[in-house]
Structure 1
Amino acid sequence: MFDKLIAAQQKAQEIKTRLDSITVTGEAEGGKIRVTASANKEIKSIHIADELVSLENKEELEELLLVALNKAIAQAENISQSEMQAATQNMFGDLGNLFGNNQ
Structure 2
Amino acid sequence: MFGDLSGMMAKLKEAQQKIEDTKARLNTILIDGEANNGNIKVTVTANRHVKNISISEELTDKEEIEDYLIIALNSALEKANEISETELAAAAKNGMPNIPGMDLFK
Task: Output the CA distance in 1 between the equivalents of 2:16 and 2:85.
Answer: 17
Alignment RMSD, CA only? 1.6
Q: 2:12·2:95 contact (CA, 8 Å) conserved in 1? A: no
Residue 81 of structure 2 corresponds to residue 73 of structure 1: no
Please identify which structure carries the higher helix content.
1
The match for 1:63 among 50, 62, 67 is: 67
The normalised TM-score by structure 2 is: 0.81
| 1:83-98 correspondence to structure 2 within 5 Å | 83-92=87-96, 95-96=97-98
Task: Output the CA distance in 1 between the equivalents of 2:12 and 2:89.
Answer: 17
The match for 2:39 among 25, 32, 39 is: 32
Number of the residue aligned with 1:4: 11
Alignment coverage as a number of residue pairs: 94
Runs of 4+ deviating beyond 2 Å: none
How many angstroms does 1:81 deviate by?
Answer: 1.3
The normalised TM-score by structure 1 is: 0.83
* Structure 2 unaligned spans of 5+: 1-7, 101-106
The amino acid that maps onto 1:73 is: L
Task: Output the CA distance in 2 between the equivalents of 1:88 and 1:6.
Answer: 11
The match for 1:51 among 58, 61, 77 is: 58
Structure with greater contact order relative to length (CA < 8 Å, sep ≥ 6) = 2
Q: 2:30·2:45 contact (CA, 8 Å) conserved in 1? A: yes
* Structure 1 unaligned spans of 5+: none
* Identity of matched residues, %: 44
Task: Output the CA distance in 2 between the equivalents of 1:58 and 1:9.
Answer: 45
